[in-house]
Amino acid sequence: MRFTKTKPFVIMQIADAQDGPDIAPDTLKLISAALDKVKPDLVVLTGDQVKGYAASFRAKGAAATPGRIRKALHDLLRPVTDRGIAFAPTFGNHDSQGFSGDTGKNAQMGFYKELPGCLAPSADGGDPGTYTIPVESDDGGKTALNVYIIDSNGNQGGGYAPVKPEQIDWYRARRDELAAANGGEPVPSIVFQHIPVQEYYEVLSKVAKGTPGAIRAYRGFAGYYTPNPEHVFQLDFMGESAAVPDENTGEFAAMLEKGDVFAMYVGHDHKNSWAAHHPAGIDLGYCPGAGFNTYGPGIDRAVRIFEIPEENPRAYKTYTLRYRDIVGKKVTHPIMNYINSNTPSNTDDGIRMGLKLLGILAGIGVLIALLVHFL
C-alpha cells in the first residue's frame, strides 16, 4: 500500500454483512455502488461477515458447512475482487459462533486468503484477525500511515469479551517497531475492529429517561444516552446503545501512550452511525451495518469512507454512503427488510418489547372479557 501525490488514501469500511450462505442481493448492491463511487485503495471488513449461528450453514450436514462458509465469503467479496481492490478482514462475535476446526477463524482466514487482494497474513496459528497494514509515503521513504486490524473477540459471560492483554502487548511492540523504522517518530495510525471499547460512552451524554432521542443502555452502563454535541462531529443516527465489553483491559489507554493512534472505528451496533472526538485525543466512530439479512437501519444501511491525506493523516475526512442515496429506496425483499428494520438490537430490548406486547395483549383480553360480560 502506498500514497499517491494526486489524491488522499481512501479506505472503505464494511461492517456487519452478517449473512448466511446466500448473501442478500441488496447488500451486494450497496457494496458495488459504493466501490464504483469512491474507488477506494483499501476495503476493511470489521467483522460479522457471516453469522455462525445460522442453521442454513448446517442444513446439509457438517461436511457441507466449510464449503458453504467459503461460498458466502467469496460471494460477499466478489464486488471487491472483481474490481481488483485490496481488502483486509477481521472477525466479529458472530463469525465463528458455533464454528471450530475447519470452520473456525483460521479456516475462514484461509478462505479469504484464496482471494486476490487479501492483505491478511497467513492463517496458520496465532491470531489471524489481528495484524497491521503499513501504507508507504508517495516516495517510498517512510511509513506515512499504519492501519491496525484488531480481532476484538467474541461473546463472554452474557456480554462481550474485551481485547486480550496479549493483543495489547502485541500492539505496543508493533507500534514501537514502526516508530524505530521511521526514525523514532510514531507512525500516524487508525484502528479498525468489531466491538467498541468502553470509552465510547465518554463521548455520549447520560440523560434522564424520556429525553428526546435517548437510547437505553444496559449492564455496566445502565441508563439513557444521547450523542454529546461537544464531541460528536458527524452524526447520521444513533439507534442503539454501545454494546461494549464488561471488562476494560486497557486497549484505549495503551493507544494514548505515544500519540500514534488518531482514530478507532468499529461496527457491531448496526443502528449506529456517528463519529466523535474523544477529549483524550482519539476519534471514536461507527460504521452502520451493511447487511440486509440481519437487523439494521433499513435503507440507511451504509458503508463508511475515509479520505486520509499523506501530509497530515490526522486531518482525515469521513462520511457514510447510504443505500438510499447510492442505490435507491426500493429493496428486493421489502417485507423482510421491514422485519429486520424493526427487530430489537439486543436481548434486553427484545425482552422489554416482548413484555410490552404481552401487556397490550393482556389489556385487549381484559377489554374483550368486559365487553362479553356487559353486552
pLDDT at 184: 93
In a domain, 351, yes or no: no
Our count of domains for the chain comes to: 1
In a domain, 339, yes or no: yes
pLDDT at 88: 98
Q: Which domain range does residue 104 map to?
A: 9-343
Strand, helix or coil for residue 20: coil
In a domain, 45, yes or no: yes
285 contacts 271 by C-beta, under 8 angstroms: no
27 contacts 293 by C-beta, under 8 angstroms: yes
In a domain, 154, yes or no: yes
Domain of residue 132, CATH code: 3.60.21.10
In a domain, 110, yes or no: yes
What element of type H or E holds 11?
A: strand 9-14
123 contacts 113 by C-beta, under 8 angstroms: yes
Q: Please return the burial class of 277, using the count of CB atoms within 10 Å of its CB with bins 0-12, 13-18 and 19+.
A: middle
Q: Could you tell me which of 293, 290, 288, 289 has the C-alpha nearest to residue 333?
A: 293
In a domain, 34, yes or no: yes
**Alpha-carbon separation of residue 31 from 209, 296, 323 (angstroms):** 37, 15, 9
62: DSSP letter: G
In a domain, 358, yes or no: no
pTM over cut 0.75? yes
pLDDT at 157: 82
Tens-of-pLDDT digits for all 375 residues of the chain?
A: 999 988 999 999 999 999 999 999 999 999 999 999 999 999 999 999 999 999 999 988 888 899 999 999 999 999 999 999 999 999 999 998 988 888 899 999 999 999 999 999 875 657 899 999 999 999 988 999 999 999 999 898 889 999 999 999 999 999 999 999 999 999 999 999 999 999 999 999 999 999 999 999 999 999 999 999 999 999 999 999 999 999 999 999 999 999 999 999 999 999 999 999 999 999 999 999 999 999 999 999 999 999 999 999 999 999 999 999 999 999 999 999 999 999 876 655 555 545 454 555 556 655 666 566 566
Q: Could you tell me which of 302, 304, 305 has the C-alpha nearest to residue 271?
A: 302
In a domain, 349, yes or no: no
